[in-house]
Amino acid sequence: MKVELEADKCVASGQCVVAAMDVFDQDDDGIAILLTEQIGDDQLDDVKEAVAVCPAAAIRLVQA
């Protein structure tokens, strides 16, 4: 699976980092940063949680 992040939609809530800190981080302004686009099966549940809790709907999962 591949993760896509639309950083221009990000509202800096940090919920993605809480849900999947191996995949997301935040810059100095709190805007989400994608640490890796390709995720393994072991990260899938965490990223699904990040997608679900993102208030700006800025994250999505796509087939790689």
- The answer as to CATH 3.30.70.20 being correct for domain 2-62 is yes
Exposed, middle or buried, 54 (CB in 10 Å: 0-12/13-18/19+)? buried
- pLDDT score of 10: 98
Span 9-53, pLDDT tens digits: 999 999 999 999 999 999 999 999 999 999 999 999 999 999 999
pTM value is 0.94
Band (64; pLDDT cuts 50, 70, 90): confident
CB 10 within 8 A of CB 64: no
- pLDDT score of 36: 97
**What are the sequence ranges of the domains in the chain?**
2-62
